[in-house]
Structure 1
Amino acid sequence: MANITAQMVKELREKTGAGMMDCKRALEEADGDMEKAVEVLRKRGIAKAEKKAGREAKDGLVEAYIHAGGKLGVLVEVNCETDFVAKTDDFKTFVRNIAMQIAATNPIAIKREDIPQDVIEKEKEIYKEQARSSGKPEHIIDKIAEGKLEKFYTEHVLMEQPYIRDPEITIKDYVTEMIARLGENITIRRFARFRIGEE
């Protein structure tokens, strides 16, 4: 059993925003390994976040992000449960990071359910046609189209995109971490992205 020092607990707390006792228990469970302790906390955070996900988020912030040069801008509304959380630096930073993610990646929807069915069907048909024209056997064309559709979701659905500041996690993971850290349900409600000259 590794000796868990106050410095280790402090370092893990600064990294994750979790409570002191949660950090101490995670370090004990991970036998003093900082990376494993972060994983332990993330797994627990997911469990905490799932409990909070059903609660209504009716407060929050609208963030305006204008990219350098003024040719690209984003408006995003992110909801939380209380104005207390909405006023915290952690929440404000989170909302700003989401706005920058949208500016950088140009998603078309927040969740895959938000994409109109006709857009999905059109994409599937394009993928099937590409597979056929490259000579793929007919019996695997549907599987190829499904695989390409998953890639489409990863690129175009905000919650499924890799987070630009930490590509190891998705935006959904980032939201889950913030729910665990702030102790409230958080919802990315809507966004608009504008670029000079785009329709």
Structure 2
Amino acid sequence: MAAISASQVKELRERTGLGMMECKKALTEADGDIEIAIENLRKSSGLKAAKKAGRTAAEGTVVTRVAEDGSYGVMVEINSETDFVARDDNFKAFADKIADAFFAARSEDVAAVMAGDLETAREQLVQKIGENIGVRRCVVVEAGDGNLVGEYVHGGRIGVLTVLKGGNADVAKDVAMHVAAINPAVALPEDMPQEQLDKEKAIILAQPDMAGKPEQIAEKMVQGRLKKYLAENSLTEQPFVKDPNQSVAEFVKAAGGEVIGFTRFEVGEGIEKEEVDFAKEVMEQAKRS
């Protein structure tokens, strides 16, 4: 059986809001797997969907560029090792230069766009700053006929490109701001993968209040909860962050538009940075000296 660390318990508590002992027990039963622990908790106690893992340890910035006519946009993530460097003027200037290059190339091919002068500039900045710096990813979003791309970047750490049919740049930006703040899973309910819906249905059926229910009633309850799940996790169905009295879809429709899709980047998402125990490091160094 895997040993359960304090950091695992802390993360599970942050993501579920449950007590320390309950989290430790759940992790022990799941052999240390946080995602399995959450799934088991949802089955046994009806726990609501836990917060998404937010271990965004890598630092850096997200930069966007959108054509004046809204026909396309690009979004690039550039990483550094520390937040201190991410706030450095030299790093910011480099990030802007990179975004301009990807925008001009209208390409997602990091290796191709970075070849030549840009790679030389990156290497020179690494030497100057003393940290590893890299261009992690880029996305190009094409609006399509009759559509437009909007953009929003929050604090240099979260970037969003939205696509609307109709509407205007201000509306597209407001929708992007909502996506940055709320982080919906999909743009439209029909975009939710069937695999995710099947998983959610299994969790609902395993909850205590479903036990012993006649099949017809159980199915009705499942469909009701799935509908609620889709409403909570689909951009168009969510209460608009700037006016919760209307949904995002209603807000956009009032401006003569319709939501088509979005892309969201958050600095370091999916990258886990090794935690350094400085006290232990100093102690080990002292022993060696």
TM-score (norm 2): 0.40
Quote how far apart the aligned CAs of 1:113 are.
Answer: 1.2
Matched residue type, 2:158: L
Q: 1:176 to 1:63 in 2, by over 3 A?
A: closer
Asked whether the 8 Å contact 1:78–1:188 carries over to 2, the reply is yes
1:152 and 1:101 map into 2 onto residues whose CA distance is 18
- Call closer, same or farther: CA 1:71–1:147 in 2, change over 3 Å: same
Equivalent-residue separation in structure 2 for 1:76 and 1:173 (angstroms): 16
Per the alignment, in what secondary structure is the counterpart of residue 255 of structure 2?
helix
| Residue number among 153, 178, 191 corresponding to 2:230 in the alignment | 153
Counterpart of 1:58 in structure 2 is: 145
Ranked by relative contact order (alpha carbons within 8 Å, sequence separation 6 or more), the top structure is 1
| Count of residue pairs brought into register by the alignment | 125
Which residue does 2:263 correspond to in 1?
192
Structure 1 residue 141: Cα displacement: 2.9
Query: Which residue of structure 2 aligns with residue 137 of structure 1?
Result: 212
- 1:173 — aligned with what? 250
Letter in 2 for 1:61: L
Identity of aligned residues (%): 33
Greater strand share, structure number: 2
Q: Is the 8 A contact 1:128 1:144 kept in 2?
A: no
Offset at 1:135?
A: 6.2
Equivalent in 192, 196, 201 of residue 124 of structure 1 = 201
The amino acid that maps onto 2:148 is: L
Per the TM alignment, residue 142 of structure 1 is displaced from its structure 2 partner at its CA by 2.4
State the 1:188 CA deviation.
2.2
- SS of aligned partner of 2:197: helix
Q: Which has the larger radius of gyration?
A: 2
* CA gap 1:135/1:157 in 2 versus in 1, 3 angstroms: closer
1:107 Cα offset (Å): 1.3
Offset at 1:63? 2.1
SS of residue in 2 equivalent to 1:107: coil
Q: Distance in 1 between matches of 2:210 and 2:160?
A: 42
Does residue 147 of structure 2 align to residue 72 of structure 1? no
1:4-60 C-alpha deviation (Å, 9 max, x unpaired): xxxxxxxxxxxxxxxxxxxxxxxxxxxxxxxxxxxxxxxxxxxxxxxxxxxxx8234
